[in-house]
Amino acid sequence: MSRLCSLLTTCTMGSLQRVVGCLAAAATLAGCVGSEDEVLPPAMLPSAQLQTAAPPNVFAPGDSLELFVEEDPSFNGTYLIREGGYILVPRIGRVQVSGLDREGAERHITQTLQKGQLAKAKVLVEHLKSGGRPALSSPEAPKIMIYLTGSVAKPGVHLLPLVKNRPMGLYEALLITGGLTRFGHHGKVEILRADNTGRRVRSVVDLRPIRDGKADDPPLSEGDIINVSEKVFGF
């Protein structure tokens, strides 16, 4: 760097032609000088990621919020969002949700429950627009089709909306569709998934560490069959 400064000083004392030549040499020398503060140009994103993200679908007065609480089903139900932007939840009172998206409402209700009602809460919410329409029911909204069988509350085919294009988890899908029956085996849930040849591959999932926050919720794939085994009681 001292060589560069000396060169520039010498250049200012010569003729115009010499100055031009010196500046060119200085530019070449400057290109050889490294710097720890050099800022690289930003990486180019794939064209699909350059599209402007859609604004979040937030709750508003007149909409409804469908609430699922794993630890205490007495909180489960559909709540109208009132003019003040809140829902009325038993044993809690007013809970503000207006202006929140689904994930934000889940976090806020979880924190509210854990302040005075539950030591730990697993909360899922669904967004229903005024008139009972799902908030993501437009034809353009991505959905996943799965099949439930065995010891589940609502067996059959289910078309579930995806939020922000994130995968639908196994435990999440079971809670949204009503959960397991009284004798459903949380430790033995089967996923049957078609491979490239069309053959169904079977895997067994234990929901208990997922429920306790100790394991990730495995993502589901289009057309998965979920079979919940029934508990076998020994005598």
For position 61, what pLDDT does the model report?
87
Q: Which domains does the chain have, with CATH numbers?
A: 57-135 (3.30.1950.10), 142-235 (3.10.560.10)
DSSP-derived letter for residue 167 is P
Q: Work out whether strand 200-205 and strand 64-69 pair parallel, antiparallel, or are unpaired.
A: unpaired
For position 17, what pLDDT does the model report?
52
- Nearest CA to 123 out of 132, 133, 115, 112 is that of 112
d(CA 208, CA 201): 22
Mean pLDDT by 10 residues, the chain (235 residues): 50 48 46 36 33 59 87 86 88 90 91 90 82 48 85 88 80 90 92 84 92 90 92 66
Q: In sequence order, which residues have a C-beta less than 8 Å from that of residue 226 and are 6 or more positions away?
A: 146, 147, 148, 149, 150, 152, 170, 173, 174, 189, 190, 191, 192, 220
- Nearest CA to 223 out of 203, 202, 194, 201 is that of 194
For position 71, what pLDDT does the model report?
86
- Over the range 90-114, which residues count as b (16 or more CB within 10 Å of their CB) and which as e? eeeeebebbebbbeebbebbbebbe
For position 76, what pLDDT does the model report?
87
For position 174, what pLDDT does the model report?
93
Indicate whether this model's pTM tops 0.85: no
Q: Work out whether strand 200-205 and strand 93-96 pair parallel, antiparallel, or are unpaired.
A: unpaired
For position 21, what pLDDT does the model report?
52
Give the largest Cα separation in the chain, rounded. Answer: 106
For position 165, what pLDDT does the model report?
65
